[in-house]
Each structure stands twice: as C-alpha cells, then as structure tokens.
Amino acid sequence: MNDIKEEVKEKIKQYSNEEYFDGYIKNEFLTDNGKADIFLKITSKEELFDSKTMGNQLDLNNGIYKFIDSKTSILDNNIKIKLNIVSENIKKKDLEKVKHLISEHYAIELYKAQKEYKKNNIKFIKLIIVGMLFLIFYAIIALSSTSKFFIEVFGFLFSFTLWHAFETLMNTLKDIKIKRESITQKLVMDIVFNNNEQ
C-alpha cells in the first residue's frame, strides 16, 4: 500500500511541474516562430456539418468546436494559433464555409462573453453604491443612536454588500476576462487547409 502511495506522489511530482508541462506544450504544439499548430483531420463531408442545421443557420458538427476548445484550453491566451484542417475528398467551397462558420461561432461566443462582462460590471458598480449607502446609514446610526440592533443590521448589510462586490470583481469579472481572451485567441487564429481533392 505504501509503495502505491509513494508511486502516486512521485507521478504527481513528475507531471505537475512547470518544466514538464512547458516541454509538453513545446513538443506537441509550438513551432519555431512561437505559434501553436493544431491539426484537425476530416475524412468526409458528413463529419463537417450538423445534420440538424441548414440554409443560413448551417453550423458545424459540435464535435469540431469541442475538439478546438479542448486542444486550445492548455495553451496560454497570448499564443497565436494555426488550425490546420487536413481533409480528403472535400470540396474547396465546403472548406471555405468551414472557415467562415468557425469564425462566426467564436464571434458570437465573444459577443455573449462581452454581454456577460457588461452585466456583471454593472452589478459590481451597483453593489459598490449600495454598500456605500449602507456604510453611510451605519455611520449615521452609530453616531446618533444607541440601538445596537440597527447598528448591527446596517453593519452586516454594509459588510455583505461590499464583500459580494469584491467577490464579483475578483472572481466573476476576472474569469470572464480570461474566457474572453481565450475566445478572442480562437477568433483570430489562422485557419489553413491541406485538401487532397483536386
């Protein structure tokens, strides 16, 4: 039992350090110019598009987006990505459509993330204003009243509101910023095709 624990500890130590991870990223993705290459193999047109979509609402198979998101999730957001789509027997017009749909998908995702950021930024500002009002009420009551109940109530409301504002700033807004950077990285990635169809 102790041997297994020691082996697990050793593996955690081996694979959770920055040096190993940086080596993995360098070997698997990075090119000589510091960009990251991602390869997506498509063998048939049926793999490309979501069969439930059509016309102007045509979209890619959701598995393609999942693949891209999975591969890019371990890369720093400041690394330029080149998506290499390797395909056979797929017409050039379909590949150009793929390029357009990928860009469109991440543009929409960026719009949604930006909307979420604005909503939470307004929430943060409102919490700060309400928190400061509670602080003013707390100070007025503390100076002019002997009622411990109201002092404690406004003290709690002031603390809770400002704590919630701080949590929104440090966690929610920070997470959305990172998400927004990740989406933008994929929105501006280079998409190239290696198409064997003549």
| Token code pair at residue 93 | 């017009």
In Å, how far are 130, 133, 141 from 144, measured between CA atoms? Answer: 21, 16, 5
Number of domains the chain is built from: 1
**Domain assignment of residue 3, yes or no:** no
- What is residue 198's predicted lDDT score, i.e. its pLDDT? 35
Distance CA 124, CA 61 (A): 37
Any alpha helices (H) in the chain, and if so which ranges? Answer: 2-15, 18-28, 62-72, 92-144, 148-167, 174-187
| Token code pair at residue 151 | 């002092």
**Domain assignment of residue 165, yes or no:** yes
Distance CA 193, CA 83 (A): 8
State pLDDT tens for residues 65-90.
999 999 998 888 889 999 999 887 77
- What is residue 6's predicted lDDT score, i.e. its pLDDT? 74
* Domain of 190, in residue numbers: 31-195
